[in-house]
Structure 1
Amino acid sequence: MFRACLFTATVVGGLACTMTKHPTPPAAPTWPPDDPSFIEQYASTFGFRLGAPQEITIAPDGDVLFTRTPPRSFVSDLYELDIATGEVRTLLTASQLLGGDDEHLSPEEHARRERLRKATRGIGGYQLSEDGARLLVPVSDRLFVVDRATAAARELATGDGFPFTPTLSRDGARVAYVVDGDLWVIDVDGGAPRALTHREGTAVDNGVAEFVAQEEMDRTRGFWWSPDGTQLAYQHTDNTPVDVLWVGDPAHPDVEPTPFRYPRAGTADAIVTLAVVPVAGGKPTWIAWDQARYPYLCDVDWSPGAPLTLVVMNETQTELAVLAADVKAGTTSVLLTETDPAWLNLGALTWRADGSGFLWMTERNGGWQLELRRRDGSLERALTDPQLPALSLEGYDEVAEVAYLAVADTQPESRIWAVPLVGAAREVSATPGIDDIVVSRRGGTQVVVSLPQTGGKRYSVRRDGKEVATLPSVAEEPSLQPAAEWTTVEVDGHTQHAVIIRPRAFVAGRRYPVLVHVYGGPHARQVLATPRAYLLDQWYADAGFIVVSTDGRGTPGRGRDWERAIHKDLATVPVADQVGALQALGARYPELDLDRVGIFGWSFGGYLSAMAAMVRPDVFKAAIAGAPVTDWALYDTFYTERYMQTPQANPQGYQVASVVAQASRLERPLLIIHGTTDDNVYFANTMALVDALFRAGKPFELLPMSGTHMTTDPALALALQRRQLTFFRAHL
């Protein structure tokens, strides 16, 4: 409940709720004027992401398809690059397909896009048939099949309801999709849609990935075509055991709250099973495995020449198994198992084109390692050394039999390495920075997306190792170039990477207040070897601060032991490493005024900001917590229990890592910002902290923002950054 808060200021999209004010710092500095042109440009371009190529796909003939918006619009259209000529043509536009109709999305599609952090509209995705001749293009609540050569589009008559996660069969002859929790199929060349499942009630879904699969396992799909297109494997999800949370927007009390099935830590997950059904209709064959031992269905793969393959995991996430299914008998056999006493990260599985074996990523030997496994799961050979700091498997060229890995070669970079199944690995990246790659399974063409350490962004189209074209971006170029310095510091016997952003008008001999921009948790690095990551930080620096970031233990890319240092306690080590790195930087760089330090971040970074301000007020003099998890018992099972176990098994760890439990220790100014309809980190997290702070008599500021965790309104984004800047200027 909102208790006795006085609303004192209004901003676009939110209200600033302020309790008792903290004392003004003894000496208020004279601040330089901030740059209005840059921050307005940043807000209007969605952080310069609008206008950049997205959803890149390489066709069998080597041409490249991609979506792109205008530089200040969220509506995507579809384009094609002719690799022979380098020319780009507009293949399809959203307005062309909709014919002037408005775009409509179901609540399930809205939620799926939230899981993918996808903000664009129009042609947000598409699928190319195996031969490259036709495309499936979903727009709004309609499905279109498009002839790629002529761009002629034909709408499929899918009937009533929103067609969720539509997918082409490999031969392009049929489309499967989900409507209202049931799996349907329709022939591309005509005919009525056919329901393949009939759910038992509204708490049951067929063909839909449950919440934790979408949010935490990177699995957004709940059904899979057989290679020959005659069968579909689908997950059957019984959500009955899962708590229902109702999300309403206080800014729109006339709109009915939306129910979400959300399993909080220590509560029951959905019950997920798997079945295979003929596309022609008939009874499903249920696939059996030891579900009591492995309740999580983490991944499913059905590749040509290979068995239907499952990756399943136990509830404590300390053991997983890769299973091969016999789709006729409904039985499974174990191909391999993995164990870890702390937790297992999910790796990647990719079958060879002939089904004779598969690639597998494992951390078994202390760091991510790529292995080649035989068809029966036995190890043929390791393809990389665990000392190579691999991050992920990015793609596989089936013709050349070459895998492509993202490698943190010299932290904080991310370079692309080519790893052949036979022969020596080699680096593909040409320059230092952050690289990503899109690989054609049929070989030949690749697209390397580069964020060089020298600045800029490139989309290099390569053929046989040579650049033949670039994908054109229409994104605006930032009006400033960050002045970032990358360095390392020693903290309690280990090395941490850090980055420092000084004002472009930096004056030697002057001391500046410091802002620590933090994430500090699993899955994401804050220190990246590209100035594009620090555009917003440079704006803050130019406004009179020095901004620093560091990646402590628990962040990815530094090996198994480094990441698992946070096991059962998400607070102590992350806070200590932020403090240790900050103090080491302050000892080296006298321009950092460690008597005036603020900390800010979002999501895990918001949590860590609030926690740091409470437990180390001697270091952090002000904090902004964006969408913080304030009590890990309020976050989802799969993420939280991986690191913290359950609240029942680790009550002390949950107490130590709870911001709510530390609320009475708050001594410093704290601004909490949260979207009221956030369906990942629920607003209940912020209200629990607000209640605890109020009961303890602690002053704080609250900015509740109407909407979820993606701020797409430029006016709202602009107001948010200015509000944060004003807060730090007032308190530092």
Structure 2
Amino acid sequence: MRILLAAALLFVGASALAQQPPAKTMTASQDTFLKDFAETRRFMSGRPVNPRITPDEKTVLFLRGQPRAPVQTLFAFDVASGETKELLTPEAILKGGEETLTAEEKARRERMRVSSRGFTSYQLSEDGERILVSLSGKLYVVERSTGKSLALNTGAGVIDPRFSLDGKQVAYVRDHDVFRIDLATNKEHRVTSGGTAKKTHGLAEFVAQEEMSRFSGWWWSPDAKLIAYTESDTSGVENLSIVDVMHPERGAEDYAYPRPGKNNAKVRLGITPVTGGKTVWVQWDAEQYPYLATVDWPKAGSLTVLVQNRTQTEQKLLAVDTATGKTRELLTEKDEAWIDLEQTFPKWLESGQGFLWYTERNGGPEVELRNADGSLARSLVKPEAGFRGLARYSEKDGTLYFVGGPNPSESYLWRVKDGGAPEVVRPGTTGPAVETGSVSKSGGLAVVTHASPTSMPRTYVARADGTRVGELPSVAVEPGFTPVVEYREVGPLKFQSSLVRPRNMKPGQKLPVIVEVYAGPTVTVVHKSMAPHLLSQWMADQGFLIARFDGRGTPLRGSKWQRAVHLDFSGVTLEDQVAAVQALAAQVPEVDLQRVGIEGWSFGGYMSALAALKRPDFFKAAVAGAPVVDWLDYDTHYTERYLGLPQQHPEAYEKSSLLTHARDTSKGISPLLLMHGTADDNVYFFHTLKLSDALFRAGKPHQLLPLSGLTHMVPDPLVTQRQYEWVMNHFKQHLAK
């Protein structure tokens, strides 16, 4: 097991440890909050997650951890009585044993951003009678009527298990091949053969998991007689190695990681009988469309695949003849910049007479109803509605439920009938909020998770008309305060913004500003929700104004707004953060424009380092966590989507690279603290080392904090606590008077 502690602080350049001022101390209550914040996983551990409505609408299943331990247990909420009972615990299955995971499962959870333990997911059979859970790479089926659990006779290291549609079989991946087990006999059968670490069968390759949100590499046929599976050949992909720096004697772990302009995994889709036999390979122009983005094998309708070209400016939806592997085109999407992939689509109707389709060709997210041949029937959700996720479509009455809304800082469950005006579905809640929801198959019951600027997430069970039935119980620790957040639109471009002040602030008092930034093309940071601002309030109470802005390049404000970063990550992204702070100062006189800092992680880390290098005149201090330093070193599917192929657009990579700005001796650098997990297999640690080296050679002092053994996530409570202590000490040193 890797050590999960910060290893060391290295001062590079002119600074020396003895010259540093003593760390500024926090109050006892601030210390207590940070400890609680870290140990409770941001006060989220112990709240219901992954709710699922049974087909009869009598029960809502969900997972829930402990208040200070993310070991999740399976629960059932009875709709009629409102009572909740515990169905299954990891302890009952392991009987005191230790939970263990294979390297493949650890990597898969990292891609899915899962840091919890115990039951991290579960599946409900189509009839709702059986529940499938995985623990320590082994499978268990729970009979809901009796509560009895059956340990399936599989080998160890099972990945991605799922019921067949009739609920009589379970298939999964083990040892790089697909297997199935007949529940009646509890006997395992091999489905595919010949899979290896370099040529896997049934596993999604790295970019599919990390960037396409396709976490599976195999699919049941509706009649459970066939299985479609991917063969992912990574033999031609460059390998990158990670060494546990605290234990070099353990050697390195190699990962197939495709960098821009270099080889991707070669992926093809095969169809084989579950009893074994010859594989029929699906045929499409893989040279022109190398990415297998989505596979859907519906109960009725065609086995369907979505394939993309390398730069993701064109994609084709193809129907597959399962007997021959031949395909026919259903539709083609094109975009001059890029196409955003929505993994939920196509969504075939129960009747098989058509499917739902997602497009942005009309300037924003739109959901269409397509006929079975791919032709357009009608638009169901218009671009201005703010669609963000499908909750359910009822074919019988033409009602579509979705999550989203026109305000990018808010989100609700909506219903729209036959393409008409959307109506919000709220379970007795009022005021601005961020809500997510799902709807039962028959459309009679909904589960809505509600969070507002003054409340942590609460999950309600409601009728489809919004009438509340009950609430899934939480055992989470509640924060000791409610953040005081101000939301406004700032500047001519009306940037969404949030501002948190110290709770004891004196009116008119000038204070330094810390900008919490992401600014990338997949995430917004301004949400009308309490949870994201808890740490912001803790930071503000130490004598700062904490601000967030969503500028051009971020989603939810239309295609043109998001595509402003095409072929350049270093332009409007940073310009808009500067303009937003200046616009905020015009409205809030307490903003001290002479003391502005910035901090972020991942793309936000890139932005923070960019600000320190490109605009040291404006940003007087920066903290950059896990930054992408050179986009030539990030993965293909993400990077080439926005910056194109490096062979075609070398200038895009040059101006977007932090190394370009680090080597520019005509500009100085703001006080910069770099922090990065040494075991990060998403943004590799060598990114930060490359930046540190370039800064050192350019004579630009900075600080580097390696987080030993940490990946791109930081789930260890002690590391989280120490991390933010370092962040605040950095800003107190360089921004406070």
After TM superposition, is the score higher than 0.5?
Answer: yes
Query: Which residue among 683, 686, 691 is the counterpart of 2:685?
Result: 683
Q: Distance in 1 between matches of 2:700 and 2:557?
A: 39
State the TM-score, normalized to the length of structure 2.
0.95
1:18 aligns with 2:15: no
> Could you tell me how far 1:199 is from its partner in structure 2?
2.2
Query: Which residue among 672, 676, 680 is the counterpart of 1:670?
Result: 672
Partner letter of residue 716 of structure 1? V
Q: Distance in 2 between matches of 1:519 and 1:647?
A: 24
> Could you tell me how far 1:727 is from its partner in structure 2?
0.8
What is the number of residues matched between the two proteins? 720
Query: Which residue among 87, 98, 108 is the counterpart of 2:104?
Result: 108
Residue of structure 1 equivalent to 2:72: 76
Q: Distance in 1 between matches of 2:247 and 2:552?
A: 42
Residue of structure 2 equivalent to 1:406: 403
> Could you tell me how far 1:255 is from its partner in structure 2?
2.2
Larger mean CA deviation between 617-626 and 348-357 belongs to 348-357
Residue of structure 1 equivalent to 2:341: 346
Residue of structure 2 equivalent to 1:3: none
State the TM-score, normalized to the length of structure 1.
0.95
1:43 aligns with 2:38: yes
Contact 1:397 1:440 in 2 (8 A): no
Larger mean CA deviation between 391-400 and 606-615 belongs to 391-400
> Could you tell me how far 1:186 is from its partner in structure 2?
1.1
Contact 1:399 1:442 in 2 (8 A): no
> Could you tell me how far 1:531 is from its partner in structure 2?
2.5
Secondary structure of the 1:55 match is strand
Secondary structure of the 1:267 match is coil
Equivalent positions of 1:154-169 (< 5 A) are 154-159=150-155, 161-169=156-164
Q: Distance in 2 between matches of 1:303 and 1:197?
A: 22
Equivalent positions of 1:302-701 (< 5 A) are 302-347=297-342, 348-397=345-394, 400-421=397-418, 423-429=420-426, 430-431=429-430, 432-465=432-465, 466-490=467-491, 493-664=492-663, 665-701=667-703
1:287 aligns with 2:282: yes
Contact 2:23 2:729 in 1 (8 A): no
Q: Distance in 2 between matches of 1:164 and 1:66?
A: 21
Query: Which residue among 703, 708, 717 is the counterpart of 1:714?
Result: 717
Deviations 1:519-575 (A, max 9, x none): 111111111111221100100000110001100001010000000000000111100
Contact 1:319 1:339 in 2 (8 A): yes
Larger mean CA deviation between 28-37 and 679-688 belongs to 28-37
Partner letter of residue 453 of structure 2? Q
Q: Distance in 2 between matches of 1:652 and 1:369?
A: 33
Contact 2:199 2:232 in 1 (8 A): yes
> Could you tell me how far 1:416 is from its partner in structure 2?
2.1
1:329–1:12 Cα change, 3 Å: closer
Q: Distance in 2 between matches of 1:98 and 1:455?
A: 36
Contact 1:398 1:442 in 2 (8 A): no
Larger mean CA deviation between 167-176 and 105-114 belongs to 167-176
Gaps of 5+ in 1: 1-9
Residue of structure 2 equivalent to 1:133: 129
Deviations 1:571-595 (A, max 9, x none): 1110000000011111221211111
Secondary structure of the 1:354 match is coil
Secondary structure of the 2:689 match is helix
Partner letter of residue 605 of structure 2? G
Q: Distance in 2 between matches of 1:501 and 1:324?
A: 51
Larger mean CA deviation between 587-596 and 455-464 belongs to 455-464
Contact 1:265 1:637 in 2 (8 A): yes
Q: Distance in 2 between matches of 1:710 and 1:680?
A: 10
> Could you tell me how far 1:623 is from its partner in structure 2?
0.4
Q: Distance in 2 between matches of 1:670 and 1:298?
A: 39
Contact 1:397 1:439 in 2 (8 A): no
Secondary structure of the 1:131 match is coil
Aligned sequence identity (%):
44
Q: Distance in 2 between matches of 1:49 and 1:666?
A: 41
Secondary structure of the 1:655 match is helix
> Could you tell me how far 1:443 is from its partner in structure 2?
2.3
Contact 2:439 2:464 in 1 (8 A): no
Contact 2:24 2:729 in 1 (8 A): no
1:288–1:677 Cα change, 3 Å: same
> Could you tell me how far 1:207 is from its partner in structure 2?
0.4
> Could you tell me how far 1:678 is from its partner in structure 2?
0.5
Partner letter of residue 727 of structure 1? H
Q: Distance in 2 between matches of 1:201 and 1:90?
A: 40
Residue of structure 2 equivalent to 1:4: none
Equivalent positions of 1:182-331 (< 5 A) are 182-199=177-194, 201-331=196-326
Contact 2:445 2:461 in 1 (8 A): yes
Q: Distance in 2 between matches of 1:487 and 1:200?
A: 55
Contact 1:389 1:409 in 2 (8 A): yes
Gaps of 5+ in 2: none
Q: Distance in 2 between matches of 1:197 and 1:114?
A: 26
> Could you tell me how far 1:397 is from its partner in structure 2?
4.0
1:146 aligns with 2:142: yes
Larger mean CA deviation between 570-579 and 196-205 belongs to 196-205
Partner letter of residue 684 of structure 2? Y
Partner letter of residue 705 of structure 1? L
> Could you tell me how far 1:309 is from its partner in structure 2?
0.8
> Could you tell me how far 1:21 is from its partner in structure 2?
5.0
1:29–1:237 Cα change, 3 Å: closer
Contact 2:452 2:529 in 1 (8 A): yes
Q: Distance in 1 between matches of 2:424 and 2:357?
A: 20
Contact 1:323 1:332 in 2 (8 A): yes
Q: Distance in 2 between matches of 1:277 and 1:531?
A: 49
Secondary structure of the 1:678 match is coil
Partner letter of residue 528 of structure 1? H
> Could you tell me how far 1:489 is from its partner in structure 2?
1.1
1:699–1:167 Cα change, 3 Å: same
Q: Distance in 2 between matches of 1:201 and 1:600?
A: 42
Contact 1:277 1:284 in 2 (8 A): yes
Contact 2:221 2:297 in 1 (8 A): yes
Residue of structure 1 equivalent to 2:730: 727
Secondary structure of the 2:695 match is helix
Partner letter of residue 203 of structure 1? K
Deviations 1:199-245 (A, max 9, x none): 26431011000000000011100001111111111111111121111
> Could you tell me how far 1:461 is from its partner in structure 2?
0.4
Q: Distance in 2 between matches of 1:15 and 1:399?
A: 62
Partner letter of residue 231 of structure 1? L
Secondary structure of the 2:447 match is strand
Contact 1:38 1:480 in 2 (8 A): no
Q: Distance in 1 between matches of 2:303 and 2:403?
A: 27
Contact 2:34 2:721 in 1 (8 A): yes
Partner letter of residue 17 of structure 1? L
Partner letter of residue 551 of structure 1? D
Q: Distance in 1 between matches of 2:723 and 2:196?
A: 43
